[in-house]
Structure 1
Amino acid sequence: MDFLQQFLQQVLNGLTLGGIYSLVALGLTLVYGILHVPNFAHGAFYMAGAFVSFHLMTRYGVNYWLAMAGSAAVVAVLSTLAERLVFHPLRHHSGLHPMIAAIGMMLFLEATAQLIWGADFQRMQSPYSGIVELGGLTAPVQRLLIIAAAFLMMVVLHLFLKKTVTGSTIIAMAQNRDGASLVGIDANRVAMLTFAIAGALAAIAASLYAPINLVYPAMGNLVITKAFVIIILGGMGSVPGAIVGGLIIGFAESFGAFYISSDYKDIIAFVLLVVILSVRPQGLFTKGVR
């Protein structure tokens, strides 16, 4: 019975990590699928989301959910501004220019966060600090909240892309940018909307995960590295691939840390990348937002 409880505990941990990784990777893969921009600054948007929520809760006493919504709105605006001021002017340049610009923006945002909030590690409080016992399985309420909220956001995004006219324009742009422009789709509007959605997803993921992690200026670096591994595993630009890839990495890290060693937790993602791509170089799913 102890073995089963330990196994289920790792499943819970894997779902928690997988949900967060998938949300971050979804924003990254949306931007890449539409604009073919490897947005290295996406991890800095994740970090900004955590700090904005932390600031609203500690400085102004804002409710956790309202702080998360405020953080999503702020980072969505920040991400849209990045698209207009940084990526849009470079749209006709080679892939190297947007990459360098994204790295520069990442460093700028990290330095700004350190200037405003300092370099110390912060801990964000959650109103959901209780523990739920499910047949001997210990489940912190915040982890259950992360799993429920993360998968709810994935369902909402899927319905948005599949069932709304605006979502259809995003898919059309991903499939054929020139063709979409010919039928009257505003490429600039779709690009801004895509960056806004990606920023909001990163902020929500960070706000969900921050209460069981720490908040600090460089917190997005490892997350964005793993998010790139996830979208490469899943297929560049693939929404289902981002979700499945996030869950694979989440479960691999959880079970690897428990059954092998927590010292190797962060390299498991890269080992998996090598193994899967050696078998299936194009990733788990075919390319393109679907």
Structure 2
Amino acid sequence: MDMFLQQVLNGLTLGGIYSLVALGLTLVYGILAVPNFAHGAFYMVGAFVSFYLMSRLGLNYWLAMVGSGLAVALLAILAERLVFHPLRKSSELHPMIAAIGLLLFLEAGAQAIWGADFHRMPTPYAGIVELGGVSAPLQRLLIIGAAFALVVLLQLFLKFTVIGSSIIAMAQDREGASLMGIDANRVTMLTFGISGLLAAVAATLYAPINLVYPAMGQLVILKAFVIIILGGMGSVPGAIAGGLIIGMAESFGAFYISTDYKDIIAFVLLVVILSVRPQGLFTRELRAS
């Protein structure tokens, strides 16, 4: 039972990070209907900025997270203005190619600035708490608490604020929302900023128990796409549920099967579930069917 609960803890840790990344991807997909492959690069840049602020400038963990979130939010807004906005009226293929190009550009830039080496981000929460026979590192507990607190706050933001309602309206009908007086450009920029912020926070939370390197966003973004397809494209609850499902599946799969197959489990699970329910687990929420 102790080992089972340990895997539940690990699954919640992974699920929290995957949900944050997938939520940012879902918000952007809801507005543009284009998968933003560069979102994995935003995640990577967030980790590097936090690492730099802590290791070079001596900022504490939380200030580094805030600084990283603001920096990546600004980067995401610039990407929307300079890359995606000019292609808004193009076919879906052009923004996808542009997103892949932006991903490669940011990875090359990170390698030129910070090098290709692997880095370990320090954490002030290095202790371990014993919870009924389960060893719970404080950093993992922090990830679980912070990730799901942000998920709840985002849900409240979308449902009970004017700006959140504007994002949902834009995703459902861009032209109709514009006719109602909603500034489409402003909402799109804000959505990209929120998505970049979520990616940076997720990276800063997970980096102390992982490694920081230029290609770290590639596998994460692939799994984020699996999650939003699994949960239903454009569905916020689907992104949350999909993140938890993939996190739990990887944790238990690595323990009971083999760590060698941990990264394959998400894709196998995707095929199995879509064979039974092709539309995903949830219907679209942010985007009209």
TM bracket (short chain): over 0.9
1:225 aligns to what?
A: 222
- Consecutive unaligned residues of structure 2, counting only runs of 5 or more, are none
1:74 aligns to what?
A: 71
SS of equivalent to 2:56: helix
Runs of 4+ in 1 over 4 A off after TM superposition: none
Provide the rounded CA distance (Å) in 1 between the counterparts of 2:71 and 2:241.
28
Map 1:37-52; keep pairs closer than 5 Å. Answer: 37-52=34-49
Provide the rounded CA distance (Å) in 1 between the counterparts of 2:273 and 2:174.
30
1:34 aligns to what?
A: 31
1:201 aligns to what?
A: 198
Residue identity matched to 1:120: D
Cα deviation, residue 288, structure 1: 2.9
CA offsets 1:161-190 (integer angstroms, 9 cap, x no match): 011101000011111111111100011001
Residue identity matched to 2:285: G
Instruction: State how many pairs are aligned.
Output: 287
CA offsets 1:121-167 (integer angstroms, 9 cap, x no match): 00000000000011111000000000000000001101110111010
Q: Is the 8 A contact 1:230 1:246 kept in 2?
A: yes
SS of equivalent to 1:60: coil
SS of equivalent to 1:31: helix
Residue identity matched to 2:144: I
1:269 aligns to what?
A: 266
Provide the rounded CA distance (Å) in 1 between the counterparts of 2:104 and 2:175.
33
2:96 aligns to what?
A: 99
Q: 1:125 aligns with which of 104, 115, 122?
A: 122
1:164 aligns to what?
A: 161
Q: 1:244 aligns with which of 231, 241, 260?
A: 241
Provide the rounded CA distance (Å) in 1 between the counterparts of 2:238 and 2:196.
19
Provide the rounded CA distance (Å) in 2 between the counterparts of 1:230 and 1:119.
28
Alignment RMSD: 0.7
Provide the rounded CA distance (Å) in 1 between the counterparts of 2:242 and 2:160.
24
- Consecutive unaligned residues of structure 1, counting only runs of 5 or more, are none
Residue identity matched to 1:261: S
Provide the rounded CA distance (Å) in 2 between the counterparts of 1:223 and 1:242.
14
2:252 aligns to what?
A: 255
TM-score normalised by length of structure 2? 0.99
2:84 aligns to what?
A: 87
Identical-pair percentage = 80
